[in-house]
Structure 1
């Protein structure tokens, strides 16, 4: 569990005085995530999620909070930031930027079937279209520039074969990022982290998409690749499950059909999505931050996925 900045009940009660939410009934740390400190908060007026931001600063955060509010207003099921009495959704708690958002119903589905994958695909496409007119300009902070910065820091911890793989893939992604094929790909603000634990289901139906704090401006294809690389795979091998992949992609295309240039770039973008998470997991494992409670995720999972994507992928129809 990751709680980098602890919060006492007295501190939270005082902080909630900025809101019209009634008295604090209960709160507890959330046992997922390794980037921020998150808490469930119950008050007389409802149920919320409190986030203390450990890496993002107060200048960056309006992008994320604004994106969630923009999407929620467009009917996308996602948390909506809660304004205080002064209208501000962002303030400080224990020296960290902090925000309160609405809490969605449901639980993560860690073993989804084709039906759940289809719901994710259709909602992701709706989210892309809804974000097209969002004017926030925050780049994807875990994009190519971060890969270039992080790679030399994790290389000393890797076996020779892993180091060769990482260097080779980064070189390939640098070349692709500078190509006209990449420049032609459509995009907007995207979630960039839509894993199974960032979606909630209730009675088999999608209740909402959460945790937008890795969002940034990127291609829609990258966001789709990130999602498929988690929702549609065989965890043991890293290969795709054909039924789940077909369900997600067909549902996505039913709302927004990928352009020819996106279909051509699909293999490279699946590799990019795998590289991004292999590298971040390597970084979190070998270069961790002090934390009250933290469980780093296994980098070998995304190493398998990257090797599988380099070996070949199904076409994006």
Structure 2
């Protein structure tokens, strides 16, 4: 959500005529994030979010936008993509694919309590169940094959100790991926990036999940692990907060009970979730791209989390 492709109000005004939203009145770049160019836009019909996709192409994008539409149509709180006059959800702007979605109410809850984590857990479980009927398939593009592709690109920049940690964890995940337990894990479309800044609250009321542009089909327990590794930790140390973990997992389990295979896979998936974001942050830090408002994230945050998930017991999944 950095700004790689600038858009002026004049640019937007002409382009917006194909959408049923009236005239464009204002546009403001969104500084957070590192993958796409995002803007808040004000139109005669209200406030929306404009995204210009910097890495995803016209062929890939229907999966993300149609998934959001599917979830929204089935009661999951997500932004609804807006079609143009021809019914298209993806339209070129400055030669790149772009889309408009509805803007959620509220703001991100950056200091969550157990009650917020419970809301997130329950909605995540509902999202997984609703996604079972989604007809399109796309693999999680930041899973094991991407880890193998990206690891050699960052190894020259990091210490011998970190090289060993990275190689060892990829090897561990390779081995776990081949087990019968892993193959039996329930799966379907996942958000894959459900951090605190990708969820909106109005007070204590959850108003929606957004930024689905890392979504893909993968194991549901990996999605839970990504979420717990952000929502239920001390940000300074990466340590799990037992109360918040229990609140999120219990709420999820009440909507979709965890399986016995997921119980076995829980700690390996917490490690996998930490590895995925450590590796992507290493790549973004050492192989940066130009952007007007880009702020790279600190890779050491997820290095700490990975070391903790490897070395310490984790709160178990609920079983009853």
- Structure 1 position 219 matched with structure 2 position 254: no
- Structure 1 position 242 matched with structure 2 position 242: yes
For 1:170, what is the secondary structure of its paired residue? helix
Q: Equivalent residues in 2 for 1:305-316 (5 A)?
A: 305-312=305-312, 313-316=314-317
- Structure 1 position 45 matched with structure 2 position 45: yes
- Structure 1 position 150 matched with structure 2 position 128: no
Deviation at 1:293, TM superposition (A): 2.1
- Structure 1 position 288 matched with structure 2 position 303: no
**Structure 2 unmatched runs, 5+:** none
Deviation at 1:47, TM superposition (A): 1.0
| 2:122–2:254 contact (8 Å) kept in structure 1 | yes
- In structure 1, C-alpha distance between the alignment counterparts of 2:162 and 2:216, rounded to whole Å: 28
Q: Quote the residue 1:86 is aligned against.
A: 86
Deviation at 1:89, TM superposition (A): 1.0
- In structure 1, C-alpha distance between the alignment counterparts of 2:138 and 2:91, rounded to whole Å: 20
Q: Quote the residue 2:102 is aligned against.
A: 102
| 1:147–1:276 contact (8 Å) kept in structure 2 | yes
For 1:150, what is the secondary structure of its paired residue? helix
Q: Quote the residue 2:251 is aligned against.
A: 251
Q: Equivalent residues in 2 for 1:12-91 (5 A)?
A: 12-91=12-91
Q: Quote the residue 2:268 is aligned against.
A: 268
For 2:41, what is the secondary structure of its paired residue? strand
Give the number of equivalent residue pairs: 317
Q: Cα deviations across residues 56-79 of structure 1 (Å, max 9, x unaligned)?
A: 000000000010000000100000
- In structure 1, C-alpha distance between the alignment counterparts of 2:78 and 2:100, rounded to whole Å: 13
Deviation at 1:43, TM superposition (A): 0.5
- In structure 1, C-alpha distance between the alignment counterparts of 2:28 and 2:237, rounded to whole Å: 36
Q: Cα deviations across residues 116-166 of structure 1 (Å, max 9, x unaligned)?
A: 000000000000000011111111010111000000110111111111100
Q: Which runs of 4+ in 1 moved over 4 A?
A: none
- The TM-score with structure 2 as length reference comes to 0.98
- The TM-score with structure 1 as length reference comes to 0.99
- In structure 2, C-alpha distance between the alignment counterparts of 1:240 and 1:13, rounded to whole Å: 47
Q: Cα deviations across residues 221-248 of structure 1 (Å, max 9, x unaligned)?
A: 0000000000001112211001100100
Q: Cα deviations across residues 19-46 of structure 1 (Å, max 9, x unaligned)?
A: 1111111110012110000000110111
What is the root-mean-square deviation in Å for CA atoms of aligned residues?
0.8
| 2:9–2:25 contact (8 Å) kept in structure 1 | no
| 1:136–1:189 contact (8 Å) kept in structure 2 | no
- In structure 2, C-alpha distance between the alignment counterparts of 1:20 and 1:133, rounded to whole Å: 29
Q: Quote the residue 2:231 is aligned against.
A: 231
